[in-house]
Amino acid sequence: MEPFEPEAIKKRRNTFLLILCILVFVDAGSSFLEMLLMPIYSNKETAEMALNIYKNMGDEVTKQMEQIFTAAQALPGWYFVISSLPFLLAIVGGVFVLRRKPLGFHLYVISQLLAFCCQNLLLKEPFQMSWISIICSVCIALCFYFQLKDNNKSPDANNEEVDN
Q: In the chain, where does DSSP find H-type helix?
A: 15-37, 44-54, 59-74, 77-98, 102-117, 131-153
pLDDT tens-digit series, residues 97-132 = 999 899 999 999 999 999 998 888 888 788 888 899
Calpha distance 12→162 (Å, rounded)? 5
Question: pLDDT tens string for the chain (164 positions)?
Answer: 556 555 544 556 688 889 999 999 999 999 999 888 888 877 778 878 877 777 777 777 778 778 888 888 888 888 888 989 999 999 999 999 999 899 999 999 999 999 998 888 888 788 888 899 899 999 999 999 998 887 666 544 444 445 54
Mean pLDDT, the chain, rounded, equals 81
Q: Are 77 and 39 in contact (CB under 8 A)?
A: yes
| DSSP state for residue 8 in the 8-state scheme | G
